[in-house]
Structure 1
Amino acid sequence: MSEPVVGVLVASPSELAIMQQAGAILERLGIPHETRVMSAARSPDVVDEYARTAFERGLKVLICTTGISGHLASAVAARTILPVIGVPIASEHMDGTMAL
């Protein structure tokens, strides 16, 4: 497979199943991608490193779940020049759009 051009980031393993659908669509379109689980609240240094180096590694766009708080998409957008797409994920208490 070619080097990834899309980074799909989820804030928790519980969001992974939902975003695997995005990965499946990217695969059908022949777009190389990578999927990572990382939390801006629990591992900010990991998020910082990933976002700061994304462009240098050849990524063109980042897709992040927003969950309840939206910390991941916000943290990534603050640290990269790449476009960041926030995807609202509904939870038991919120519909995910509050984070946008």
Structure 2
Amino acid sequence: MEATKKPAVAIVMGSQTDWPVMEFTRNTLKKFGIESTVKVMSAHRTPHEAVEFAESAADNGYEVIIGAAGGAAHLCGVLAGHTVLPVIGVPVKGWSLDGLDSLLSTVQMPKGVPVATVAIGKAGAINAAILAVQIMGGADAELRAKMVEYKKTMAEEVIAADAALQAEING
């Protein structure tokens, strides 16, 4: 029987309503063979749990934390303030400003408490997973090789799309 791999990435959401976006993060990580844990906790409603999770994340085997929050979006900053692990923030659409409020809250961290912030929504959720793979790939040749293949496939798709467009345009 094969041993179960411990999750290397923690996906932490401020609300369960963030799951339709953050599911893309988990699915992208799975494509690279990376296990993840998904949790809901709030910087405002469960601050002690968020701090406890962040403080113990490295000891629990996580290598990267990906956080998502809407509105005031303080979750990633709280997590980053209580861990030495890299934290990637995914701003999600909240109740106002179509996610711009979340983006600004996530990206505006004080010096010494970085949060790598990606795009709002689905693209950000996917990019957070890709960035986590790239971070972990610094010490993992297998992940680096998978990233090389991923980027090669993306390039091939663009080249094929251009060829199809040129054929359509030129008859």
Which TM-score bucket, shorter chain as reference?
A: over 0.9
Structure 2 unmatched ranges of 5 or more: 108-171
**Residue matched to 2:76:** 73
Larger proportion of strand: 1
1:29 to 3, 27, 32: 32
Deviation at 1:48, TM superposition (A): 0.9
What amino acid sits opposite 2:54 in the alignment? A
What amino acid sits opposite 1:8 in the alignment? I
CA distance in 2, matches of 1:91, 1:43: 18
What amino acid sits opposite 2:104 in the alignment? M
What is the number of equivalent residue pairs in this alignment?
100
Q: CA RMSD in A?
A: 1.1
Runs of 4+ with deviation above 6 angstroms = none
Q: Say which one has the larger Rg.
A: 2
1:58 to 53, 57, 61: 61
Deviation at 1:46, TM superposition (A): 0.6
Q: Calculate percent identity across the aligned residue pairs.
A: 31
**Which of structures 1 and 2 has the larger relative contact order (alpha carbons within 8 angstroms, sep 6+)?**
1
Deviations 1:6-49 (A, max 9, x none): 00000001111210110011111100110100011001111011
**Residue matched to 1:98:** 104
Deviation at 1:69, TM superposition (A): 1.1
TM-score for the superposition, normalised by structure 1: 0.94
TM-score for the superposition, normalised by structure 2: 0.56
**Residue matched to 2:11:** 8
